[in-house]
A and B are shown apart, each in its own frame.
Chain A
Amino acid sequence: MRRGTPILSTVIVLLGAAYFLVPLYAAFQFSLQMKRGELSLEAYRSVLSSSVFLSTLTFSAVASFAAIAMGALLVVPTVYWVRLKLPRLRPVVEFLSLLPLIIPPVVLVFGHIRLFGSNSVLPLTMTASGTNVLLVMGYVVLSLPYMFRAVDNGMAAIDIRTLTEAAESLGASRIRTIAGVIFPNVRSAIVSGAFLTFSICLGEFVLASLLNRPAFGPYMVQLGQDYAYEPAALAILSFALTWTLMALMQLFATRSPGRRRRAPLKTSTTP
């Protein structure tokens, strides 16, 4: 028997969509009204032509990439080792990875400032580069729940223990096993974690503001206080950027290992 159109579900979906889309549309509509009496992209032009926009965006993007690299270097070997050798510690590690969701960033940053402030053993806040390092560290912590979960799910999908043993029985060292077997098979998971990290760090406000770094988050807030139409345009731009990243993540995350391309016809032993 064919079921009819699920009216209630459709209504709920439409309401949910409206909840998100109507304000977004309103912001978009508003962002086009910078010139009186006509719709124009003036607000976007104004935003994009600002050198502060580009410099803060670049700063945040670089900090995000650094956080991704550090996060992946921290999380991938940890998850691998815990799953391989210390499975009983997994709930503990999982709990630790969730702590950034419970502890507010403001607590984290004050902790940083106290620990690495001017009268500490390692006064990182005394220099710009030192503070940048602190910011990236903070980003790594903030994105830990997402990076950990993505990589952990990726490793759950493949039998890392047997693959490790297979590689070792063929003479591979532990490092070669991680680099040549484990890493390529969880690459899509790492990419997912990376995009989530990027989305979080790009517009992050609290850490960047309290550490007084020229990042994109504080810039957006500042712009919101000083201008009318540009913040709406900026909001739409950052949404577009985040959604593009989400789409890319979806693309990478749904590809399973070994299915990246059609098998070539030629027999070859080189990857």
Chain B
Amino acid sequence: MSFLALSSIRKSFAANTVVKDFTLGVERGEFVSLLGPSGCGKTTVLRMIAGFETPSAGSLRIDGEDVTALPPNRRRIGMVFQSYALFPNLTVAQNVAFGLRVAGVPGPERETRVAEMLRLIGLPDLGARYPYQLSGGQQQRVALARALAVRPRVLLLDEPLSALDAKIRVSLRSEIREIQRDLGITTIFVTHDQEEALSMSDRVVVMNGGVAEQVGTPFEIYNRPRTRFVAGFVGTLNQLEAVVRDPGRGLVEIGGTTLTMSGPLAVAPGRRVRVAFRPEAIRIGAAPGREVMLRARITAVDFMGAVIRIRAETEGGTLSLDTFNRPDTPPPGIGTRTDLSLSSRDLIVLEDGPAA
């Protein structure tokens, strides 16, 4: 059984059900992100794990213990909030020591643990400062130290980076991940930022309309999105409408070109489906191993340095493609007619998700 197990969790506020039949197992030491747009129920799931909300149905177990009805202060969880939530009347050291005092850890041991935590977050000399004397990034690191000081069973991070500026966000995210790996602490991270979720997590849960649309490794989520919602929410995805010709052999037709998909399709012949592929899967011109060819006209070229983002018009619709910059190959001009090639292995047929 998983270390943290959520079974058929449902949460309703009056007539509004915000989490529907949510089941998730998280292994000890795993870093799992709940990713989704605002209002998708990700924060509610986190708050139920913390004990701040009680599920309307379903059960929640941590390390085999049923904690569904346990109040938050007895769950032994650590939580980091978007707004830091440091106690303004206490110094950094007192903030970190708060949970230890509550737990009755004796003075000398408490001081050792606080010093250890402050070293861990790289702020060993700021123990005597008050929260208002720290930057946002420093405050959030203190909040992390405070949550970790009590050695919680599960660490819950509620959009901890959202209030920080871009540069700090990127550096703090690798810091958090490093600390999490060092301590081997089971972590649930809530975010609406796909880059954060993909770069930090062992597994990502993409949520929409109160349900988990897909659970998988960042690699799976990005490369094999299961639903149209996941495909649209995570990264940029080109979508073309196709007509299924021979589902058994995986044959579909896009704008007069018949393509072979990587496997058979569970769709009736003649049905319209959406075929998707990532911008980096397309090449300009023919290339060996890329059997799918599309005629296109270049409509926009954005030179972004290492990457060039190109938009092209095809019979099936507008596509976005990314190529790496090469000093010896200038990007195509706008209006140029060219062939685009891609491998059928990169094509994904999207299911309609429950809420898509």
Q: Is A257 an interface residue (CB 8 A)?
A: yes
CA distance A180 to B98 in the complex (A): 9
CB distance B85 to A163 under 8 Å? yes
CA distance A271 to B107 in the complex (A): 12
A172 touching B102 in the complex, CB below 8 Å, given contacts A165-B50, A181-B87: yes
Q: Which of B79, B87, B89 is A169 in contact with, Cβ under 8 Å? A: B79
Which of B127-135, B185-193, B319-327, B348-356 lies at the interface? B127-135
Which of A28-36, A112-120, A232-240, A261-269 lies at the interface? A261-269
- For the side of the interface on B, what is the size category? 35 or more
Chain B residues with Cβ below 8 Å from A259 are 130, 132
The residues in B between 52 and 101 inclusive whose CB is less than 8 angstroms from any CB of A are 52, 71-79, 81, 83, 85-91, 93-94, 96-99, 101
Q: Is B146 an interface residue (CB 8 A)?
A: yes
CA distance A237 to B351 in the complex (A): 83
Q: Is A170 an interface residue (CB 8 A)?
A: yes
CB distance A171 to B73 under 8 Å? yes
Q: Is A45 an interface residue (CB 8 A)?
A: no
Chain A residues with Cβ below 8 Å from B1 are none
Q: Is B15 an interface residue (CB 8 A)?
A: no
Chain B residues with Cβ below 8 Å from A166 are 79, 81, 85-87, 143, 146
Chain B residues with Cβ below 8 Å from A256 are 88, 132
CA distance A260 to B132 in the complex (A): 12
CB distance A167 to B88 under 8 Å? no
CA distance A266 to B99 in the complex (A): 21
1/0 contact string of B115-139 vs chain A (CB within 8 Å): 1000000000101111111000000
Q: Is A185 an interface residue (CB 8 A)?
A: yes
Chain A residues with Cβ below 8 Å from B51 are 168
CA distance A172 to B90 in the complex (A): 15
CB distance A263 to B128 under 8 Å? yes
CA distance A265 to B127 in the complex (A): 9
Chain A residues with Cβ below 8 Å from B89 are 181, 184-185, 257-258, 260
CB distance B110 to A269 under 8 Å? yes
CB distance B79 to A269 under 8 Å? no
CB distance B85 to A267 under 8 Å? no
CA distance A165 to B73 in the complex (A): 9
CB distance A268 to B87 under 8 Å? no
Q: Is A127 an interface residue (CB 8 A)?
A: no
CB distance B88 to A185 under 8 Å? yes
Chain A residues with Cβ below 8 Å from B50 are 165, 169
CB distance B107 to A269 under 8 Å? yes
CB distance B131 to A162 under 8 Å? no
Q: Is A38 an interface residue (CB 8 A)?
A: no
CB distance B81 to A162 under 8 Å? yes
CA distance A185 to B130 in the complex (A): 13
For B72, the closest partner residue in chain A by CB is A168
Tell me the smallest distance from the CB of A239 to a CB of chain B, in Å.
Answer: 34
Chain A residues with Cβ below 8 Å from B91 are 263, 268
Chain A residues with Cβ below 8 Å from B304 are none
CB distance A264 to B128 under 8 Å? yes
For A177, the closest partner residue in chain B by CB is B73
Tell me the smallest distance from the CB of A76 to a CB of chain B, in Å.
Answer: 15
Q: Is A250 an interface residue (CB 8 A)?
A: no
CB distance B128 to A268 under 8 Å? yes
Chain B residues with Cβ below 8 Å from A171 are 73-74, 76, 99, 102-103, 150
Q: Is B252 an interface residue (CB 8 A)?
A: no
CB distance A168 to B73 under 8 Å? yes
CB distance B98 to A167 under 8 Å? yes
A170 touching B150 in the complex, CB below 8 Å, given contacts A263-B128, A268-B93: yes
Q: In this complex, which of B83, B85, B110 has the most chain A Cβ atoms within 10 angstroms of its Cβ?
A: B85
Chain B residues with Cβ below 8 Å from A176 are 102
CA distance A162 to B93 in the complex (A): 20
Tell me the smallest distance from the CB of B100 to a CB of chain A, in Å.
Answer: 8
CB distance A269 to B111 under 8 Å? yes
Tell me the smallest distance from the CB of B176 to a CB of chain A, in Å.
Answer: 17
Tell me the smallest distance from the CB of A28 to a CB of chain B, in Å.
Answer: 42
Chain B residues with Cβ below 8 Å from A269 are 93-94, 96-97, 101, 107, 110-111, 114
Q: Which of A167, A185, A265, A271 is B128 in contact with, Cβ under 8 Å? A: A265
Chain A residues with Cβ below 8 Å from B128 are 263-268
CB distance A267 to B115 under 8 Å? yes
CB distance B93 to A169 under 8 Å? no
Q: Is B234 an interface residue (CB 8 A)?
A: no
Chain A residues with Cβ below 8 Å from B71 are 168
A162 touching B85 in the complex, CB below 8 Å, given contacts A264-B128, A269-B93: yes
Q: Is B207 an interface residue (CB 8 A)?
A: no
Tell me the smallest distance from the CB of B289 to a CB of chain A, in Å.
Answer: 53
Chain B residues with Cβ below 8 Å from A74 are none
CB distance A159 to B83 under 8 Å? yes
- Having A170-B98, A171-B103, one finds 14 other A-B pairs with CB under 8 Å, namely A162-B83, A165-B52, A165-B79, A165-B81, A166-B85, A166-B87, A168-B51, A171-B74, A258-B89, A264-B128, A267-B93, A268-B128, A269-B94, A271-B94
Closest 8 CB pairs of A and B: A170-B99, A267-B127, A269-B97, A166-B85, A169-B79, A258-B88, A258-B130, A257-B88
A-B contact pairs, 9 of them (CB 8 A): A163-B87, A166-B79, A169-B78, A170-B147, A172-B73, A176-B102, A185-B88, A256-B132, A268-B128
A residues with CB within 8 A of B: 158-159, 162-163, 165-173, 176, 180-181, 184-185, 256-260, 263-271
